[in-house]
Structure 1
Amino acid sequence: MSSHWISIYALVGMFVLATVLPINMGVIAFVGAFLVGTLVAGMNAKAIMGGFPADLFLTLVGITYLFALAQNNGTIDWLVRLAVRAVRGRIAAIPWIMFFIAALLTAVGAVSPAAVAIIAPIALGFAAKYGINPLLMGLMVVHGAQGGGFSPISIYGGITNKIVAKAGLPLNEIATMLASLGVNLSVSLLLFFLMGGMKLLRQKADTTGAVPATRRAAHAQGGAQVFGDAEAESFAEERRVATAAGESLMDAAPAVPADQGSRGYQIATVVGLLALAVLTLFFKQDIGFVSITIGLVLTLMAPNLQKRALGQVSWPEIMLIVGVSTYVGVMEKMGTIDFVGHSVAGLTSPMMAALLLCFVGAVVSAFASSTAVLGSLIPLAVPFLQGDAGVSAVGFIAAMAVSSTIVDVSPFSTNGALVLANAKGVDRDVFFRQLMVYGAIVTVVAPVVVWLLFVVL
């Protein structure tokens, strides 16, 4: 058995083990990276650690820390009330506002994770307060960010267009942009009605931002904070005891009264969030460093009020994401990703090769960089796209673009991880499984749908 297949089987085994047993998959993945890297690939520890996603780690820590501060000082609740007034209490409009704001940010040049990092905490805080399905809200934000991701001036669009031009293939920037926006918008519309959209259309909040009595009572019973207590979540035994008692650990934990900052401090927090958006979107600064810096400034302004914030960082989720990413990094260094891509591209049927390349792009992107996938797989398709094989280059590029990015709803991708880390008032294990199941469905279904739409038809 080749080393490539061993690494693939090991990854499958990790999923099975993490599903059967209540063990953080990140821990399993770190061990897998060490064993496969040393015993199979002959790598040393330094080479294995080269796959550790330091930028992703810093992004997750910085963003969850900053928004824990914003939650603790009452800024998130204040912004939620302002949002309710802006739409005159129409709760059903909020998920769509989040969708289009995220799409606009990526369309004008924001990196998709940056847009999700800015929008998701506010959106999910609103979802918890007004009884909106948090999975729906999180998915709307991610699909919005991906929907605008292929405009000619966007990050994904610019990189993809350069790759296509370098490969000497026909280029249609607008077609790729509209394909991504159309598919993500259609999926979001479907999700909206499947996940309680009709019920939201019949609801209207008080324009002062007050929570209706029935939902306020339900919210009070949960008593969960926006990020939960990450330290408590780390103890599997406590989780099992709480579950056996018929309640989640977050519900069982004593409710801690949230200290509210002054209005001036809340305004300073909003200024910090706006600074985060400007510095990351327009000045291309690293979102992890910027968010931690702003968080430190806010902490220095009220150290006692914010002393619990670091404990509210979602450490179990961060461990999971960076562990899996490190293992995928080992697979990339072993050449497993290239091995799979070249094996698919070498098939005799161009149509089937196009479909399988879309599948490979979707599966790999669910765990790794979508940009890297586009950069490595599009060139593999050049031989059959330049010939008379009946495969449209423009259609294939659109299909590859969509299938390689729409799967970022996976909890193992940066966008999905941000949604998981910022979910409020949920059982994290259940929410993780929901994201994983949805991500798996999208990974299987999306490549077939976009292949039929843009390549076959």
Structure 2
Amino acid sequence: MSSHWISIYALIGMFVLATVLPINMGVIAFVGAFLVGTLVAAMNAKAIIAGFPADLFLTLAGITYLFALAQNNGTIDWLVKLAVKAVRGRIAAIPWIMFAIAALLTSVGAVSPAAVAIIAPIALGFAARYGINPLLMGLMVVHGAQGGGFSPISIYGGITNKIVARAGLPLSETTTMLASLGVNLAVSLLLFFLMGGMKLVRQKADSEGRVPPLRPVAHGQAGAQVYGDAEAESFAEERRIATSGEGSLMAPLQEGGAANGMRLYQIATVLGLLALAGLTLFFKQDIGFVSITIGLLLTLMAPNLQKRALGQVSWPEIMLIVGVSTYVGVMEKMGTIDFVGHSVAGLTSPLMAALLLCFVGAVVSAFASSTAVLGSLIPLGVPFLQGDNAVSAIGFIAAMAISSTIVDVSPFSTNGALVLANAKGVDRDVFFRQLMVYGAIVTLVAPVVVWFLFVVL
């Protein structure tokens, strides 16, 4: 067996092991990089470490640190309440408000499971109160989180853009961002009409927010949390804060002077997020350094309040990404990436090769980590994205990004499991099967649709 196939089988084994067992895939990938690098490729430790993505590490740490600060000082809670008040009794607008908030959170740096963990309990509570289809509401939250996930200052966007740049491929941050948002928005619009959205248009709450529910609300049926992949670790602290109210500091806002001071702090946080977007999008500053700088300024304003923020950084998520990236670096040095790309391109046309990788990304992501899939599959497409018969690299990146994330509605993924766990007044077994069927449909249909839209056309 050649060294290339050994490294490929090792990567497949990592996905399987991280899916079956609650082990962070990043840890497995670091060990794989060491063993494959030394025993198979005869590389020394220095050469293996050279593949460690320091810039990606800084980006992930900086963004999640800044988001933890925004969560702790109540800025996220405040923005959610402002958005919900904007509904003004229009029940049909609530699912779209939840979609927009989830998209906003991921677009400014929240990992997708963290955004869903914060919004899903609120959204599904609204669904139970106002008789909204809980499946519709849960899917709107997940698609919203995925729709905003590829902004240039988001986790997915930062990962994808750096991987693409490192691979030497043409980069269009705006195309990937708008493609993801557009597809998820279109899917949500279709779901809204198919799952009773028009019925909600005829409902309206009174000035106190009361409206007769269309079915009784069941209480105490939240169920146990079940998480399907390594990403689950990244949002445990955020969810605990969001659901318990601890650290949100909304209670002290009732105290005159303290309320004014906290509101100013929250306004400063919003300005910091806007500054991050401006400096990175228009002035091309490094997102990692800028986010940490803004985070430090916010911390200096209230050091005691934010003393635990560093512990809330998504270290398991970071471990996952940098571990897989380091292993992919070993594969690149071995020549495995070129070997696989040329093999796939040789077996079929570049168009079919692109479709095949989109399917692989969708199937694996439905059960494992979307971020790990992005890190490992995009480099495999490099050979058939170059040359005379190459497909559009920008279009392929958009298709690959969407295929690998839109399937997170599966109940076996973190986002789908969160929706299942927080649904109220439902038969949990039936709800699980509904999520599973919908996830299977998306896994089979989405790769073909996005491949046709962004690669073929």
With normalisation by structure 2, the TM-score equals 0.64
Deviates more, 1:298-307 or 1:46-55: 46-55
Q: Which residue of 2 aligns with 1:130?
A: 123
Question: 1: distance between equivalents of 2:78 and 2:88?
Answer: 15
Q: Deviations over 1:145-199 (max 9, x none)?
A: 55999xxxxx89x99xx978xxxxxxxxx99999877645444445667899789
Give the number of aligned pairs: 382
1:270-289 equivalences in 2 (<5 Å): 270-289=270-289
What is the percentage of aligned positions where both structures have the same residue? 60
Query: Which residue identity is paired with 2:8?
Result: I
Q: 2:356 aligns with which of 347, 359, 366?
A: 359
Query: Any idea what SS the aligned residue of 1:366 has?
Result: helix
Q: Which residue of 1 aligns with 2:128?
A: none
Q: Deviations over 1:47-87 (max 9, x none)?
A: 22222232332222222222222222211111111112334
Query: Which residue identity is paired with 2:249?
Result: D
Query: Which residue identity is paired with 2:50?
Result: G
Question: 1: distance between equivalents of 2:21 and 2:456?
Answer: 42
Q: Which residue of 1 aligns with 2:402?
A: 406
Report if aligned partners of 2:27, 2:323 keep a CA contact under 8 Å in 1: yes
Q: Please report how far the alpha carbon of residue 46 of structure 1 lies from its aligned counterpart in structure 2 after TM superposition.
A: 2.0
Q: Which residue of 1 aligns with 2:293?
A: 293
Query: Which residue identity is paired with 1:283?
Result: F
Q: Please report how far the alpha carbon of residue 36 of structure 1 lies from its aligned counterpart in structure 2 after TM superposition.
A: 0.8
Question: 1: distance between equivalents of 2:333 and 2:436?
Answer: 25
Q: Which residue of 2 aligns with 1:259?
A: 249
Q: Which residue of 2 aligns with 1:316?
A: 316
> Structure 1 residue 26 and structure 2 residue 19: aligned?
no
Query: Any idea what SS the aligned residue of 1:285 has?
Result: coil
Question: 1: distance between equivalents of 2:63 and 2:394?
Answer: 32
1:48-447 equivalences in 2 (<5 Å): 48-88=48-88, 90-97=93-100, 115=107, 117=109, 125-131=118-124, 136-144=140-148, 183-190=183-190, 256=246, 258-260=248-250, 262-347=262-347, 350=349, 353-360=350-357, 363=360, 366-368=373-375, 376-380=383-387, 382-383=388-389, 400-409=396-405, 445-447=445-447
Report if aligned partners of 1:359, 1:444 keep a CA contact under 8 Å in 2: no
With normalisation by structure 1, the TM-score equals 0.64
Q: Please report how far the alpha carbon of residue 328 of structure 1 lies from its aligned counterpart in structure 2 after TM superposition.
A: 2.1
Report if aligned partners of 1:180, 1:398 keep a CA contact under 8 Å in 2: no
Q: Deviations over 1:199-249 (max 9, x none)?
A: 987887888999x9999x879999xxxxxx979969xxxxxxxxxxxxxx9
Question: 1: distance between equivalents of 2:455 and 2:267?
Answer: 50
Question: 1: distance between equivalents of 2:28 and 2:111?
Answer: 31
Q: Please report how far the alpha carbon of residue 131 of structure 1 lies from its aligned counterpart in structure 2 after TM superposition.
A: 2.6
Q: Please report how far the alpha carbon of residue 342 of structure 1 lies from its aligned counterpart in structure 2 after TM superposition.
A: 0.8
RMSD: 5.4
CA pair 379-426 structure 1, distance change in 2 beyond 3 A: same
CA pair 320-438 structure 1, distance change in 2 beyond 3 A: farther
Query: Any idea what SS the aligned residue of 1:268 has?
Result: helix
Report if aligned partners of 2:150, 2:176 keep a CA contact under 8 Å in 1: no
Question: 1: distance between equivalents of 2:46 and 2:199?
Answer: 53
Report if aligned partners of 1:116, 1:141 keep a CA contact under 8 Å in 2: no
Q: Please report how far the alpha carbon of residue 10 of structure 1 lies from its aligned counterpart in structure 2 after TM superposition.
A: 0.7
Query: Any idea what SS the aligned residue of 2:304 has?
Result: coil
Question: 1: distance between equivalents of 2:22 and 2:303?
Answer: 36
Q: Which residue of 2 aligns with 1:171?
A: none
Query: Which residue identity is paired with 1:12?
Result: I
Unaligned 5+ segments in structure 2 are 126-136, 155-160, 225-231, 251-260, 362-371, 409-413, 423-434
Query: Any idea what SS the aligned residue of 2:124 has?
Result: coil
Query: Which residue identity is paired with 1:66?
Result: L
CA pair 231-397 structure 1, distance change in 2 beyond 3 A: closer
Report if aligned partners of 1:37, 1:48 keep a CA contact under 8 Å in 2: yes
Question: 1: distance between equivalents of 2:438 and 2:97?
Answer: 22
Report if aligned partners of 1:328, 1:367 keep a CA contact under 8 Å in 2: no
Q: Deviations over 1:78-131 (max 9, x none)?
A: 1111112334353122245358879xxxxxxxxxx8x45279677764444333
Question: 2: distance between equivalents of 1:451 and 1:231?
Answer: 30
Q: Which residue of 2 aligns with 1:11?
A: 11
Unaligned 5+ segments in structure 1 are 103-112, 150-154, 165-173, 223-228, 235-248, 386-392, 413-418, 428-434
Query: Any idea what SS the aligned residue of 2:94 has?
Result: coil
Query: Which residue identity is paired with 1:93?
Result: W
Query: Which residue identity is paired with 1:313?
Result: V
